[in-house]
């Protein structure tokens, strides 16, 4: 089966080029498989649900205890689990009239890291098929359209609905809608009317 993915633009950099933006692909998940799905899959091999659950429960306890004891855990063909710490500066004052405050660092586990096995990644890349489900030409998001507008206005001083639509590869309807929102936010001011309608940056 094919893996579905979408194409999205990276967040814009203030003052960047208004006509260029970087895209990235993002997997669109079909859902999440759980223990019941694994049991159904292994039942064909003659393994019953109780056995599968017992093994996975024991594996979970083993991983939890091993990480707690300071070990990394590597599962062959899958990957390696490890811990990351987060530090927080704490101030302690043991005596009410103490002139100096004792500073200590509190450490807590921030997250559990997982590094996939290299062979697993190679096998997935070798066997997978990708299917793009977005239009060939991506339409920038609202945040990106706003940044493009600001960059354009700082350079030229004004913009029309037609220019905004062409700048952001969107419809005239979307152009009017966006500019109306920006006007309500106090970001831009409308000048003129009809075919001579323009938008300029609002004075601070």
Q: Quick one: which of 163, 170, 155, 161 has its CA closest to 190?
A: 161
Alpha helices in the chain (DSSP H): 35-43, 49-68, 118-127, 142-156, 161-168, 172-184
Of how many residues is the chain composed? 204
Instruction: Give yes or no: residues 27 and 57 share one domain.
Output: yes
In a domain, 71, yes or no: yes
For position 14, what pLDDT does the model report? 60
- As for how many domains the chain has, the answer is 2
Q: What is the pLDDT of residues 167-184, one digit of tens each?
A: 887 778 888 899 999 999
In a domain, 100, yes or no: no
The better pLDDT of the pair 71, 192 is held by: 71
Give the whole-angstrom CA distance, residue 142 versus residue 145.
5
Least confident of 10-14, 115-119, 139-143, 189-193: 10-14
Instruction: Give yes or no: residues 128 and 165 share one domain.
Output: no
Full residue range of the structural domain in which residue 168 is found: 142-201
Instruction: Give yes or no: residues 19 and 59 share one domain.
Output: yes
Instruction: Give yes or no: residues 164 and 68 share one domain.
Output: no
Quick check: 17 pLDDT over 60? no
Out of 108, 132, 156, pick the residue that ends a domain.
132
Instruction: Give yes or no: residues 125 and 154 share one domain.
Output: no
For position 71, what pLDDT does the model report? 97
The better pLDDT of the pair 21, 140 is held by: 140
Instruction: Give yes or no: residues 30 and 128 share one domain.
Output: yes
Burial of 37: CB neighbours in 10 Å, binned 0-12, 13-18, 19+: exposed
Instruction: Give yes or no: residues 70 and 19 share one domain.
Output: yes
In a domain, 182, yes or no: yes
In a domain, 86, yes or no: no
- Whether the predicted model's global pTM rises above the 0.75 cut: no
Candidate ranges 43-52, 85-94, 174-183; pick with highest mean pLDDT: 174-183
Quick check: 156 pLDDT over 60? yes
For position 204, what pLDDT does the model report? 66
The better pLDDT of the pair 57, 23 is held by: 57
Q: Give the model's confidence band at 136: pLDDT under 50 very low, under 70 low, under 90 confident, else very high.
A: very low
CA atoms within 13 A on the CB side of 20: 3
Instruction: Give yes or no: residues 128 and 168 share one domain.
Output: no
CA angle 8, 13, 17 (to 5 degrees): 90
- CATH number of the domain residue 195 falls in: 1.10.10.10
For position 93, what pLDDT does the model report? 58
């Amino acid at each position: 089966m094919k893996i579905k993915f979408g194409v999205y633009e990276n967040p814009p950099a203030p003052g960047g080029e208004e006509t260029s933006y970087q895209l990235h692909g993002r997997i669109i998940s079909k859902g999440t498989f759980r223990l019941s799905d694994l049991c159904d899959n292994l039942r064909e091999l003659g393994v019953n649900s109780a056995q599968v659950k017992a093994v996975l429960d024991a594996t979970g306890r083993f991983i939890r205890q091993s990480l707690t004891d300071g070990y990394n855990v590597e599962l062959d063909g899958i990957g390696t689990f490890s811990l990351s710490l987060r530090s927080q500066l704490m101030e302690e004052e043991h005596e009410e009239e103490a002139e100096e405050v004792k500073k200590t660092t509190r450490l807590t586990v921030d997250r559990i890291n997982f590094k996939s096995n290299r062979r697993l990644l190679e096998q997935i890349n070798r066997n997978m098929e990708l299917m793009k489900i977005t239009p060939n030409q991506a339409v920038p998001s609202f945040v990106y359209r706003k940044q493009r507008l600001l960059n354009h206005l700082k350079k030229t001083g004004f913009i029309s609905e037609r220019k905004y639509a062409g700048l952001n590869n969107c419809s005239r309807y979307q152009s009017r809608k966006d500019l109306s929102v920006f006007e309500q936010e106090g970001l831009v001011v409308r000048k003129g009317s009809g075919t001579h309608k323009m938008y300029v940056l609002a004075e601070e």
